[in-house]
Amino acid sequence: MYEGNIMRKFAKRDRQERAIERLEKTLVMHEANAELTIAIMEDKKMSTGAADKVESIRQQKIKRAKTTIENTKENMK
């Protein structure tokens, strides 16, 4: 019983570490340019005509990714 809890703890930590790596890659792509945001918006059938709208959504995605990374790192301690 005790061993199972330890294994679950390590599995959770592994999932968290992989999530952080994935989010950091996504964050870099969003910070580099708006192409990823435009592609996501097109996939969701959203209008991509207004540059300020695309930039606004891009900034929201960057902010949320940073917050998620910070929270996940904090929960790993």
Domain that holds residue 18: 2-76
Taking the C-alpha atoms of residue 36 and residue 21, their distance in angstroms, rounded to an integer, is: 18
pLDDT in tens, 28-48: 998 888 888 888 888 888 887
Contact 65, 30 (CB under 8 A): yes
> Tens digits of per-residue pLDDT, 48-77?
778 888 888 889 999 999 999 999 999 887
Question: What's the burial of 45, exposed, middle or buried (CB within 10 Å: 0-12/13-18/19+)?
Answer: exposed
pLDDT of 2 higher than 70 = no
Check whether 1 has a pLDDT greater than 60. Answer: no
Distance separating alpha carbons of residues 56 and 37, to the nearest angstrom: 10
Which string of DSSP letters, residue by residue, matches 44-61?
A: TT-----HHHHHHHHHHH
Does pTM surpass 0.85? no
